[in-house]
Structure 1
């Protein structure tokens, strides 16, 4: 089944490299997936699979776990329902 992945990311925040990393992981796991990215709102890293928002950095203030996203895309390619991302990358926060 065809899978379309769209990522809106903050270009001024330098998130294009995060998008490229996620896109590479998805394409290596699901070569038939159509992965696209576009610069968007400040602080954004919003991931949609087949038109369904599965993760919002604007809501969580963290990046999604890329393996979790890749697994969701793989499941969608197998015809399963699109599920939300449940895991996040650890937040590196140092309070001085």
Structure 2
């Protein structure tokens, strides 16, 4: 079984982002365990089987869901994991 552990910022209200990723992965890859838990401010850190594959604290971006899914499938097959692609930031403007 593949375990995806997501640490998210509760102050930033990133729980909904984690729930969206959780629902996506469970729908696309049944049997995957996805754990969402509050953590550091600004965080959205994704670990697959205890290996960090995405850090919002480092990239300042959310992970691309398809890229996380590809890594979950790799983990299930015992293959090495790769860096998660970042989700493009939309609806953001600098004033």
* TM-score, normalised by the number of residues in structure 2: 0.92
Q: In the alignment, which residue of structure 2 is the partner of 1:70?
A: 69
In the alignment, structure 1 segments of 5+ residues that lack a partner are none
SS in 2 for 1:17: helix
* C-alpha distance in 1 between matches for 2:76 and 2:23: 16
In structure 2, the gaps of 5 or more residues are none
Distance 2:36 2:61 in 1: 18
Aligned residue pairs total 94
C-alpha separation in 2, matches of 1:95 and 1:71:
33
Give the structure 2 partner of residue 18 of structure 1.
Answer: 17
Residue correspondence of structure 1 range 1-96 to structure 2 within 5 A? 2-85=1-84, 87-92=85-90, 93-96=92-95
Instruction: Output the aligned Cα RMSD.
Output: 1.1
Q: Distance in 1 between matches of 2:67 and 2:53?
A: 11
Matched position secondary structure for 1:7: strand
Instruction: Give secondary structure in 1 for the equivalent of 2:57.
Output: helix
